[in-house]
């Protein structure tokens, strides 16, 4: 897969699962991601390795995903890898109250061919250090059921609206 910036990513499969991806810039490996799966077959972890100035690949970030039984992500935890390889929790994202409507715009991405949020979440909590912000989402749909608008409110008076069109 080639992205807009020109990075080329290769995906490595074992059976029906992607177990690793490698990202190249100008034919040089700059990042590797290793994927782990939970018992239900969902991506349960993504471990990032980044090229260091000395040429080695060092583990840098770890994402852990927890899911509801219906396949929607419940929690995404982001960890920083310290020099001693210990993990430090950076942030937690929690999603709740999913609508049973198809979600064409997931907020959590794991792999290009998978949707970690097949339904639309109605609440979202973002925690970083000692700060937590809660968001409520409301949706509008076309007559045929397609999503046309998402409104996000943080409970403090800030509202953001996104409109979707289809071609």
Any domain includes 72: yes
Any domain includes 152: no
* 79: CATH: 2.40.128.720
Q: How many domains is the chain partitioned into structurally?
A: 1
Q: Find out whether 59 and 45 touch, Cβ atoms under 8 Å.
A: no
**pLDDT value at position 157?**
86
**pLDDT value at position 110?**
97
pLDDT digits (tens, 9 = 90+) for 60-111: 999 999 999 999 999 999 999 998 889 999 999 999 999 999 999 999 999 9
Q: pLDDT-based confidence at 6, cuts 50/70/90?
A: confident
Any domain includes 40: yes
* pLDDT average, residue stretch 11-25: 97
Any domain includes 94: yes
pLDDT digits (tens, 9 = 90+) for 25-64: 999 999 999 999 999 999 999 999 999 999 999 999 999 9
Any domain includes 144: no
Residues near 102 by Cβ (< 8 Å), separated by ≥ 6?
A: 118, 119, 120, 145, 147
Q: Which residues constitute the domain of residue 23?
A: 8-136
Distance CA 48, CA 132 (A): 25
Any domain includes 114: yes
Any domain includes 115: yes
Q: Retrieve residue 92's tokens.
A: 């937690």
Q: CA 126: distance to chain centroid? A: 13
Q: Is 39 exposed, middle or buried (0-12, 13-18, 19+ CB in 10 A)?
A: exposed
Q: Find out whether 52 and 66 touch, Cβ atoms under 8 Å.
A: no
Any domain includes 47: yes
Q: Retrieve residue 145's tokens.
A: 């059921």
């Amino acid at each position: 897969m080639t992205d807009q910036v020109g990075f080329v990513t290769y995906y490595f499969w074992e059976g029906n699962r992607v177990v690793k991806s490698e990202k190249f810039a100008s034919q040089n490996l700059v990042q590797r991601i290793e994927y782990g799966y939970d018992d239900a077959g969902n991506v349960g972890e993504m471990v990032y390795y980044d090229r260091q100035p000395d040429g080695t690949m060092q583990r840098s970030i770890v994402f852990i995903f927890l899911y509801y039984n219906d396949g929607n992500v419940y929690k995404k935890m982001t960890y920083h890898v310290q020099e001693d390889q210990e993990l430090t929790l950076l942030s937690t994202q929690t999603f709740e109250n999913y609508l049973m409507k198809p979600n064409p715009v997931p907020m959590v991405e794991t792999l290009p061919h998978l949707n970690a949020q097949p339904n639309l979440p109605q609440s979202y909590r973002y925690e970083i250090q000692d700060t937590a912000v809660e968001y409520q989402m409301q949706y509008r749909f076309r007559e045929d059921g397609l999503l046309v608008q998402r409104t996000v409110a943080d409970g403090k008076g800030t509202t953001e609206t996104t409109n979707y069109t289809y071609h």
